[in-house]
Amino acid sequence: MKKYRIDLPAKAVENLELEKNTSLVLMVDNKTLTIRPSRTVEMLPQIMMRWYLIPAVLAAVIFFCLSWANHHWVISLTGNWSIGFAALYLGTFSGVVAFATAFIRQKRHRSGPAMELHWRNLPTLLIAFGTILAISIMIVFWLAEKMFAGASFDIYTSTLFVFLFVAAITYGMLNLAMTISEAVITNSMMIMIIGGMLFSMLTNSNRDWWHYNFSYLGTQQNATYWRFNITLIFSALLMATLVDYLFFNLQKKYPDRGVIVLRILLYAEAACLGGIGCFPNDPQYHVLHDRISMWLVYIMILIIGLLRWLMPGLSRQFLKISYTIGGIMALDWLVFKVTNYLSLTAFELLEFGLSFSWLLLLFQNLEYLARIGDQIFPIRIEKNDDDHQ
């Protein structure tokens, strides 16, 4: 049987932190080669049981003592004092503290994926991920209320449920902190924007909101306007963190002025996204809200038009997709301004969908460029003529 030799770059081996004589295995899947240590379990994040069980026990004890002191012998699944209430506040607090502790631990020990992030990113990540966690818990118990209307449990069973919820939440946040990456932040931003907006649409006080405009969800006419606005604000924070994360490596490899300009323009996009949430379409902010919304579109079209010169490493295929999306956005704006074919809601939804899709594609391509040289290495496969079988 013919054999081949693979030469691995020294930096790739250093990044894996492999010990001497560590055995590797080669996996072939769909014409893709993957080389990894044979004992993959050692490469997975090691989360001790006490890290999430102790906070869960403390949360359960607090919940039990407060319920006992206030004579809550039967506790409902949702409501002011309920299992959902405890999971929301105790679970979110435990999860955020667990994430911060794991992040700080990685930074202090100089190991783990958090090393690629700056200390200044921690507050933003805590706020953003804490918000995503809180909204996710609210969605879960909102659905539970619809499926199990009127469900209630005794104090002991309720305490057990709180323990399980807090343990699961804390474990999830620990795992998130120990596997943080550009892709995780991008996916979190996507989940926050789509999930937050869908939740706002489902829980808003006016089922005919779409007769007005998309921005209606963030106005005070909607009882749950704060969910829509918080979604935009913290999505903007995540976007700014992602830009900071990606361009820290990109500017080392592409020290051109265009890359700096692109970074500034993406920060401006994040600022516009957050500004739409800070200044909703209420009468006192109407003009400013409209201006910021249009700046968001103008800046994006400007980036698309200059992308070839700002970031020369991008593929021709992505540039073609970008020009197509930019052209559709411009045509959409022209049709809306000149004709009555599109309603304001349709125009805003179409512009939002196109711009959000393009941003995700852009970040995926920038992530690939940022990883080249650090996580993607060229290798050489040579035929070994000395080996025969």
**Which residue has better confidence, 387 or 275?**
275
The overall longest dimension of the chain from CA atoms, in Å, is 82
Q: What end-to-end distance do the CA atoms of the chain give, in Å? A: 5
User: What pLDDT, on the 0 to 100 scale, is given for residue 389?
Assistant: 44
**Over the stretch 357-375, which tens digit does the pLDDT of each residue have?**
888 888 888 888 877 655 5
**Residue 11, SS3?**
helix
- pLDDT for res 384: 62
Tokens of 251: 């500017």
Asked if pLDDT for residue 29 goes beyond 70, the answer is: no
Q: Which amino acid is at 338?
A: V
For range 327-349, the mean pLDDT: 80
How far apart CA 202 and CA 194 sit, in angstroms, is: 12
Residue type at 55 in one-letter notation: P
The beta strand positions in 193-342, using DSSP E, are: none
Which residue has 């004890």 as its token pair?
Answer: 61
CA distances from 203 to 85, 207, 376 (A): 18, 9, 44
**286 contacts 213 by C-beta, under 8 angstroms:** no
Contact by Cβ (8 Å): 241, 185 = yes
88-127 pLDDT, tens digit each: 999 999 999 999 999 998 888 877 777 777 787 788 788 8
Residue owning tokens 């265009």: 258
Alpha carbons 307 and 316: distance in angstroms, whole number = 11
pLDDT above 70 for 62: yes
- Going by pLDDT thresholds of 50, 70 and 90, the confidence category of residue 63 is very high
What pLDDT is attached to residue 108? 85
- The answer to whether the CB of 182 falls within 8 A of the CB of 363 is yes
Taking phi first (over 0 means left), then psi (-120 to 50 degrees means alpha), and beta for anything else, what does residue 5 get?
beta
- Mean pLDDT for the stretch of residues 132-155: 86
Q: How far apart are CA 240 and CA 234, in angstroms?
A: 10
CA distance 142 to 227: 14
Supply the pLDDT for residue 55.
94
Three-state DSSP class for residue 300: helix
Three-state secondary structure along 137-148? Answer: HHHHHHHHHHHC
